[in-house]
């Protein structure tokens, strides 16, 4: 099933890598990735399109 996920993340080095790593660790391919600024210069909005089962996509990341 196709999923579109929007994420607000801190605008700092390595933030993109950490989010992409969550998908990679679960074996999901990112089909589309867009990052854009927000009104708050310390935040960016990331929109990710991927495919995968609902159960795995909705899992919280492990710490």
Which CATH number is 30's domain given? 3.30.70.260
Q: What are phi and psi of 38, to 5 degrees?
A: -115, 180
Q: In what order do the strands lie in the sheet with 30-37?
A: 2-10, 43-51, 30-37
Whether the predicted pLDDT of 58 surpasses 90: no
* Domain encompassing residue 9: 2-57
pLDDT band for position 27 (cuts 50, 70, 90) = confident
Total domains in the fold of the chain: 1
In a domain, 13, yes or no: yes
In a domain, 8, yes or no: yes
C-alpha span between 56 and 14 (Å, rounded):
24
39-59: average pLDDT: 85
């Amino acid at each position: 099933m196709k999923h579109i996920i929007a994420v607000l993340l801190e605008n700092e080095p390595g933030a993109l890598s950490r989010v992409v790593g969550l998908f990679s660790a679960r074996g999901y391919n990112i089909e589309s990735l867009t990052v854009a600024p927000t009104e708050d210069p310390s935040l960016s909005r990331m929109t990710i399109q991927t495919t995968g089962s609902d159960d795995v996509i909705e899992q919280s990341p492990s710490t």
